[in-house]
Amino acid sequence: MHCWECFLSVQGMQTIWGEMLVSFVMSCVLSYGGFLFEDYFDRTISWIEFPIKRLVLECLGYFLYVFVVSIIIIFLDMYLLRQAFTLNNIPWKDLVNWTKFPMRISFVISFIFISRSFLMEWRNAAIEAEQLKTERVAQQFKSLKDQLNPHFLFNSLNVLSNLVYENADHAARFINKLSKIYRYVLDVQQEELVPLEKELEFAENYLSLQKIRFEDSLQYHIHVDKNVSGSIPPLSLQLLLENAVKHNVASSSSPLKIDIELINNELVVKNNFQPKSSISEESTGIGLSNIRKRYELLCERRMSVLNEGGAFVVKLPLLSPSV
């Protein structure tokens, strides 16, 4: 313990300022290191998915960093500023003992950073879950609205009324396809992901229904093995196929051609691009925006949209059910 006269002396002031400088440098280095550690682990290991792994690796890494940095700073302080020893007589035991105080401080710093990081990630996860819930509810409302879509029902019933008199077998097939479409819409409303097999079966029913309506004006091919594993957001194909049929010209002279295939673990939906002149860009983007937002909420992978060579192409990444 120093007396006040010692503190107020020139040597005492030099000692105080020296200690303050060392403490300031050490505080800055330890705090900045904690920030870098937190930023690195935020990008590599999720608190939500791997909490124990994150806690162990981050604490061990940061405490090792504090120990090494403390040794270096204390060594430089004692050797260069205080000249307390020479390189031939380094008191390693004392250096290690002197790191006890920085290590205690590191517990406080690490607790602050870890608590902040955990709470922020937990908060973001809760917000994303709520966004996904909201988006799913919105999709449910849209699905219910599509079921009662007057244009779709009118066209379907109009085709059905003609088929009843012209071809009873076609009429029965039409009713069967229509019932399967609406049954599927009802079944998947609560799901975040559905197997690719179910979506392809739905696409086949939807396109065959449209084929009865458009006849030779619509041509389609599905080149995907139904046994392929993988999932996509429900009714994604319905939105894409509906867009293609609704916004493109389909006539006997210029038939609408739709192809569905699997390339590099992506479901590729392609149609020849022959837009109706009365369709606005805003209306054509509603369905695509719906799918894009759901992918953003579910995973890191993104859908892609291309318009090249007279073809409109949408690629949907296949996801695993655990996403």
Above 80 in pLDDT, residue 211? yes
Above 60 in pLDDT, residue 29? yes
Above 80 in pLDDT, residue 286? no
Are 94 and 166 within one domain? no
For 55-90, the DSSP string reads HHHHHHHHHHHHHHHHHHHHHHIIIIIS--S-TTS-
When mean pLDDT is compared over 23-27, 126-130, 212-216, 314-318, the highest value belongs to 314-318
Above 50 in pLDDT, residue 205? yes
CB-based contacts of 75: which residues, under 8 Å, 6+ apart? 90, 95
Above 60 in pLDDT, residue 12? no
For the residues 62-79, what does the mean pLDDT come to?
A: 78
pLDDT (0 to 100) of residue 251? 92
Alpha carbon distance 25, 15 (integer Å) = 15
Q: Which two tokens stand for residue 211?
A: 């084929």
Are 40 and 160 within one domain? no
pLDDT band at 1 (very low <50, low <70, confident <90, very high): very low
Q: Which two tokens stand for residue 139?
A: 């999709």
Alpha carbon distance 313, 263 (integer Å) = 12
Are 213 and 107 within one domain? no
Q: Which two tokens stand for residue 166?
A: 């012209």
Above 90 in pLDDT, residue 260? yes
DSSP 264: T
Strand partners, 262: 267
Are 114 and 202 within one domain? no
pLDDT (0 to 100) of residue 204? 92
Distance of CA 252 to the CA centre of its chain: 42
Are 107 and 155 within one domain? no
Are 70 and 20 within one domain? yes
Average pLDDT, the chain: 79
pLDDT (0 to 100) of residue 158? 75
Residue 139: inside a domain, yes or no?
no
Are 86 and 158 within one domain? no
pLDDT digit string, tens, across residues 223-251: 998 788 899 988 889 889 988 988 899 99
Q: Tell me which of 213 and 208 has the higher pLDDT.
A: 208
pLDDT band at 268 (very low <50, low <70, confident <90, very high): very high
Alpha carbon distance 206, 182 (integer Å) = 10
For the residues 253-277, what does the mean pLDDT come to?
A: 93
Q: Between β-strands 304-308 and 256-263, what pairing exists: parallel, antiparallel or unpaired?
A: unpaired
Residue 88: inside a domain, yes or no?
yes
pLDDT (0 to 100) of residue 102? 72
For the residues 209-234, what does the mean pLDDT come to?
A: 89
Above 80 in pLDDT, residue 4? no
Are 121 and 167 within one domain? no
pLDDT digit string, tens, across residues 88-136: 666 667 666 777 777 777 777 777 877 877 888 888 888 888 887 777 7
Are 182 and 41 within one domain? no
Segments forming the whole domain that contains residue 35 = 4-129
When mean pLDDT is compared over 9-13, 108-112, 269-273, 274-278, the highest value belongs to 269-273
Cα four-point dihedral sign 141, 268, 228, 321 = negative
Above 70 in pLDDT, residue 259? yes
Are 208 and 293 within one domain? yes
pLDDT (0 to 100) of residue 82? 60
Alpha carbon distance 188, 198 (integer Å) = 10
Residue 278: inside a domain, yes or no?
yes
pLDDT (0 to 100) of residue 148? 43
Are 70 and 198 within one domain? no
pLDDT digit string, tens, across residues 35-50: 888 888 888 888 777 8
Residue 269: inside a domain, yes or no?
yes
Are 209 and 125 within one domain? no
Residue 37 to residues 31, 45, 99, Cα–Cα distance (Å)? 10, 11, 20
For helices 168-187 and 150-166, give the axis angle rounded to 10 degrees: 150
Identity of residue 321: P
Return the CATH number at 195. 3.30.565
Size (the chain), residues: 323
- How large a percentage of the chain has pLDDT more than 90? 20
User: Total structural domains in the chain?
Assistant: 2
What phi, psi does 85 have (nearest 5°)? Answer: -160, 170
